Amino acid sequence: MARLLLIEDDLTIRTPLLRALRERGHAVAAASTALDGLRDALDDRPDLVVLDLGLPDLDGGELLRMLRAVSSVPVIVATARDDEAEIVRMLDAGADDYLVKPFTAAQLDARARAVLRRSAADPATDPVLVVGGLRIDPRSRQVTLDGTPVELTPREFDLLHHLAGRPGQVVTKRELLTEVWRIPYGGADKTVDVHLSWLRRKLGESAQEPCYLHTVRGVGVRLDVPGSSR
């Protein structure tokens, strides 16, 4: 039985969701304000948080950032805000999934189970990846390049880890959006491009002078061992 925390101020949404999620076997607590939700998340340590953004005392995006500063609890943002830039911003801020209202309890339950499956994966079974001078440790979430630590944001780490798990393969932007950002559709290519640019800078390369990260125009990106021929 998963323990969920629903942070939602709208009683007409909160009450039926609580009932439906409990009927599906979850133990669900609820909070109607951001500060109550933060306190409950830290005190009760739920398995997953479902977070509305339009809270009365504090924007849910700010609460997400506060949570991420002190906790790695999985978070599903569930909100009426359907702007693509907002979706990407929340996922970059640390949300594990994003669900736009209106949605059914069955949809939320399916998303929750998927996020919980991902979060339950044992990092000890995920091997350290080595590509050339890059060493990527998923357990500690640390990266070194030729023995020197590389400081990455969580999203940059996830992006590099996904690519390093497929060395020499061209990975499409659509796949990156789906697997790294958890956005189940295309249309946010600029988000991938921006993060690739940041990642290249931290690896000491550029799109014009690539070393590890090679853009395949119109298709995606490939991570290669430096000097390998294509």
Tens of pLDDT, residue by residue over 1-53, are 789 999 999 999 999 999 999 999 999 999 999 999 999 998 999 999 999 99
Which range is least confidently modeled, 70-84, 136-150, 172-186, 196-210?
172-186
Q: What is the mean pLDDT of residues 81-93?
A: 89
Q: What is the pLDDT of residue 184?
A: 59
Q: Record the tokens describing residue 136, joined without a space.
A: 């990527």
CA distance 208 to 71: 38
pTM value is 0.66
Instruction: Output the pLDDT for position 92.
Output: 87
DSSP 11: H
The secondary structure of 108-133 as a DSSP string is HHHHHHHHHHHHHS-GGGSPPEEETT
Angle subtended at Cα 28 by Cα 26 and Cα 31, rounded to the nearest 5 degrees: 160
Q: What is the mean pLDDT of residues 142-167?
A: 92
pLDDT of 174:
86
Helix axes 105-120, 11-23, angle to 10 degrees: 60
